[in-house]
Chain A
Amino acid sequence: GAVVSQHPSWVICKSGTSVKIECRSLDFQATTMFWYRQFPKQSLMLMATSNEGSKATYEQGVEKDKFLINHASLTLSTLTVTSAHPEDSSFYICSAVSGVPETQYFGPGTRLLVL
C-alpha cells in the first residue's frame, strides 16, 4: 500500500518551453501532497505544499508563477515548470500524505534536463 507514482520519470526539453510533471497516489487518497527539488548529492528542498481543491502554499524563495501546482483531485497533483531554463534542471520529487499519524510517501522522482 501507499504507492506514489510520477510521470514522466525523466524529460529533456528546450529552454523556454513548459514541462508538466504528474504525481499520483495509486492506492489511497491524499488531500495533501508535497513537491521537492533535489540537486545532486544534496538533501531535498521543499518547494510547495499542494492541497486538494485550494491554492498551493509555496516556500519562501520559490516562484509561484514559475512553478504552477494544481491539485485537482484526491489522487493527482501536477507541477508545471513554465518557461524552463537550464538552471531549472533538477530532480523533482513529490510525496503524498497518508495514515495516522500522517506519513509522507514519496514518488520515484522526475529528472528534468533543460537544454
Chain B
Amino acid sequence: GNSVTQMEGPVTLSEEAFLTINCTYTATGYPSLFWYVQYPGEGLQLLLKATKADDKGSNKGFEATYRKETTSFHLEKGSVQVSDSAVYFCALQGAQKLVFGQGTRLTINP
C-alpha cells in the first residue's frame, strides 16, 4: 500500500539557517504529493504541492521537487525564520485519500 516516511524530528535550527526535511514515499501509480504545516493548536495548512514528476511546488520561500526516480519530495528553505516553527507533514494522495508521514517538528531559535 501507499506510505510516506519523513525524517525524524525534532529539528532545531538557528534563524537564517538552511532547512531540509526529507520525505520519501511508496505508492502505486502516480500520486500527487503535498507538504502541510501545522502551527500549535491549529489545523493543517497546505504549504505546497506537486502533481507529477519533476514538478516543483513552492510557497513562502519553501520548495519541494517531485522526484520519481528517488521517490522523494524533500522540503527545503534557504533561510528560515522563527515564525516557521511548526510541525510539517509530507503526504501523498492516491484515490482521493491522503496518506501522511509522521510529521517533523521544527523549532527555529532567534
A residues near B, CB below 8 A?
4, 6, 32, 34, 41-44, 46, 49, 93, 95, 97, 101-109, 111
Which chain A residue lies CB-closest to B45? A106
Query: Chain B residues near A103 (CB, 8 Å)?
Result: 32, 34, 46, 49
Interface residues of B in 42-77 (CB under 8 A from A): 42-46, 49, 51
Residues of chain B with a CB closer than 8 A to A44's CB: 44, 89, 100
**Residues of chain A within 8 A of B20, CB atoms compared:** none
Query: At the interface, is chain B mostly helix, strand, loop or mixed?
Result: strand
State A34–B100 Cα separation when bound (angstroms): 14
Measured CA separation A54–B13 after assembly (Å): 47
Least Cβ–Cβ distance between B59 and chain A, in angstroms = 13
Binding site for A on B (CB under 8 A): 32, 34, 36, 41-46, 49, 51, 89, 93, 96-98, 100-103, 105
> Across the interface, do A106 and B44 meet the contact criterion of CB distance under 8 Å?
yes
Residue in chain A with minimal CB distance to B98: A104
- The answer, among B32, B45, B51, B102, for a CB contact under 8 Å with A43, is B102
A97 and B96 alpha carbons, distance in the complex (Å)? 9
Of B32, B41, B51, the most chain A CB neighbours within 10 A belong to B41
